[in-house]
Structure 1
Amino acid sequence: MSRVVFVLLPEVHLLDLAGPVQVFDSAAHLGRPYTLHYVAERPPVRSAQGLPLSAGTEWPALDAEDLVVVPGWRAPTLRGGPAPGEDVLRRLRRHHAAGGTVASVCAGADALGRAGLLDGRRCTTHHDLQDELAARHPRATVVRDVLFTTDDRVVTSAGIASGIDLALHLVALRHGPALAARVARTMVVHARRNGDQPQASAMLRHRSHLDDTVHRVQDLIDARFAEPLPLAALASRAGVSERTLTRLFTRATGGLTPLRYQQTLRLERAEHLLGQGATAESAAREVGFEDARMLRRLRSRAAR
């Protein structure tokens, strides 16, 4: 069982908190072992939107598989915002030193900076606060115009709604992009990735649509992309004709047929295996090709 601990500071933004909470709660309902915890120094905590939030003062025992998240708060400047106490900062440092992951949304990056966790690492925050974050923590490298950054188990995200992207990314890292796509689909949001990555996983890149029939077929292809998946079988599982499935799939994914989508997943996995030192033959067989000829053909096509 993995614990996700949310540290609530005064004037916390509700969406900074609720976005990541919903992602991990949805992952738990899809069978992943998460429990959510909320801690504060002095509860109840008044949110930036006026809603009082209840939280305990006792922290659960943590191990390296657990995650601590600091949502952001409303303040005109970081200097004018809430100052987490030394106990919170010490717990953040201790959890990271023990191999755990710490994360922040928006202004929450300042709390990680106060704990010394941004020193020598890449980070980001809301665009209105980036200059001040860089000035307050000069040993950090503040990255602009990205949704989130990850650096040695320190994860920071930009403004408010980007906490959803951060949480989806962490789910993808821990459980694979297929689960992250299912969570995003449950939440009816686009499954986005970090803005400084040139290309997101195909499992996420082609999921930013609302066609439930196509999502069901993608779920099947995602789970069994190395197997033969005839169009007739996919259409039967979706309860539509082959022609209808092809039309819906092409429209939802921006021009891909189910076969091209499957080939894209195979190629992406094969590229990863090749990058890990696998031979072309072994990578091709691993992803479902009889030999390396088709893999070479698809790689050549993708490089054009």
Structure 2
Amino acid sequence: MRTVVFLLVPGLHLLDLAGPAQVFSTAADLGLGYEVRYVSGREDVPTAQGVTLRAGTAWPDTSPDDLVVVPGWRSGGEVPLRVLTPGQASGLAAHHAAGGTVASVCSGAFALGEAGLLDGRSCTTHHALQHLLARRWPRARVVPDVLYVPDGNVVTSAGIASGIDLALYLVTVWHGPSAAASIAREMVVYARRNGDEPQASAMLRHRGHLVDAVHRVQDRIDARFGDRLLLSELASDAGVGERTLSRAFVAATGLTPLRYQQRLRVERAEHLIGTGETVEAAARAVGFQDARMLRRLRSRPGAADL
């Protein structure tokens, strides 16, 4: 049993809390073994949306397998120098020092900074607060324009709805992509978004549909785009015939499964090349036998949209 503790700060945003809480609650419903708890400095916790929540006030016992999450709160572009009590800050630091995972949503990253957990780490927060976070914690490496940033057992996410992406990422780490995909489908979250991918990534551009069988195949391709994937295997995953899958996939995404896989490969290769890898090394890393196919795909008209 893994305990997920949400540390609630007065004025918190409901979706910062409710999104990831729903992920772990759904994980528990699916038998993955989660207990969700809530703690605050006061029993009655006002929220930015006007609903008052109830929480325990005693810091819970946690183990290295457990997770502590700090949702964000309404900041108005400014964040007080101190939002945590000394006991809360030391509790966060102690949990991390014992090997536990600590996460934040939106302005919750400032609470992690208070606890001394951002120094020397990559992190992110809401786009409107990124410059303030960098000024407040100059030893942190603030990554702009991403959904979430894992750095060891500290994971930070951007604003509001990105808390869902962070929680699904942690489920993927702990239980695999299939479990995360099952939770996403249960929550009717059809865009399984990666933390280091921009909003315009291929994984997102072709997720704006409601065909569950196609989403299941996309999940498989997303997780294994560097492998050789047979259409028969993909159709079996979707529970349909090969011709049915091909028609449904094209209708939903505008691409064949192979073309979709190629787009993911090229996009990842472009990222690797941009970080200093050779074309040959990038081609091998994404599953091409040599660089010729990668060069051919990159040279096509409209390759920037791959």
Tell me the CA shift for residue 101 of structure 1. Answer: 0.8
Tell me the equivalent position of 1:106.
106
Tell me the CA shift for residue 17 of structure 1. Answer: 0.3
Change (3 A) 1:187 1:139: same
Tell me the CA shift for residue 66 of structure 1. Answer: 0.8
Partner-residue secondary structure (3-state), 1:296: coil
Partner-residue secondary structure (3-state), 1:144: coil
Distance 1:223 1:149 in 2: 19
Tell me the CA shift for residue 26 of structure 1. Answer: 1.9
Tell me the equivalent position of 1:301.
293
Matched, 1:192 2:193: yes
Percent of aligned pairs with the same residue? 56
Tell me the CA shift for residue 169 of structure 1. Answer: 1.3
Distance 1:83 1:232 in 2: 52
Tell me the equivalent position of 2:212.
212
Q: Which amino acid aligns with 2:157?
A: S
Tell me the equivalent position of 1:285.
none
Distance 2:171 2:114 in 1: 26
Tell me the CA shift for residue 88 of structure 1. Answer: 0.5
CA contact (8 A) 1:217 1:238 kept: no
Change (3 A) 1:126 1:244: same
Change (3 A) 1:233 1:208: closer
Tell me the equivalent position of 2:133.
133
Q: Which amino acid aligns with 2:193?
A: R
Tell me the CA shift for residue 36 of structure 1. Answer: 0.6
Tell me the CA shift for residue 196 of structure 1. Answer: 5.1
CA contact (8 A) 2:146 2:198 kept: no
Distance 1:206 1:214 in 2: 10
Q: Which amino acid aligns with 2:67?
A: L
Tell me the equivalent position of 1:52.
52
Partner-residue secondary structure (3-state), 2:7: strand
Change (3 A) 1:79 1:212: closer
Tell me the equivalent position of 1:115.
115
Tell me the equivalent position of 2:93.
93
Distance 2:234 2:132 in 1: 56
Change (3 A) 1:135 1:296: closer
Distance 1:198 1:49 in 2: 27
Residue deviations 1:190-213, cap 9 Å, x none?
Answer: 1001135899897x9965532023
Tell me the equivalent position of 1:22.
22
Tell me the CA shift for residue 242 of structure 1. Answer: 4.2
Q: Which amino acid aligns with 1:93?
A: A
Change (3 A) 1:12 1:263: same
Partner-residue secondary structure (3-state), 1:128: helix
Residue deviations 1:16-70, cap 9 Å, x none?
Answer: 0011111112222222111111111111101110101011112332111111000
Tell me the equivalent position of 1:40.
40
Tell me the equivalent position of 1:69.
69
Distance 1:74 1:238 in 2: 45
CA contact (8 A) 2:64 2:100 kept: yes
Tell me the CA shift for residue 170 of structure 1. Answer: 1.2
Residue deviations 1:105-147, cap 9 Å, x none?
Answer: 1111110001110111111111111122122112112111111
Distance 1:31 1:303 in 2: 46
Matched, 1:163 2:156: no
Q: Which amino acid aligns with 2:139?
A: R
CA contact (8 A) 1:157 1:166 kept: yes
Change (3 A) 1:10 1:236: closer
Tell me the equivalent position of 2:12.
12
CA contact (8 A) 2:106 2:160 kept: yes
Superposition CA RMSD, Å: 3.7
Q: Which amino acid aligns with 2:36?
A: L
Relative to the length of structure 1, the TM-score reads 0.76
Size of the alignment, in residue pairs?
276
Change (3 A) 1:137 1:218: closer
Q: Which amino acid aligns with 2:186?
A: T
CA contact (8 A) 1:8 1:45 kept: yes
Change (3 A) 1:46 1:2: same
The equivalences for 1:225-264 within 5 A come to 231=232, 234=235, 238=239, 242-257=242-257
Partner-residue secondary structure (3-state), 2:108: helix
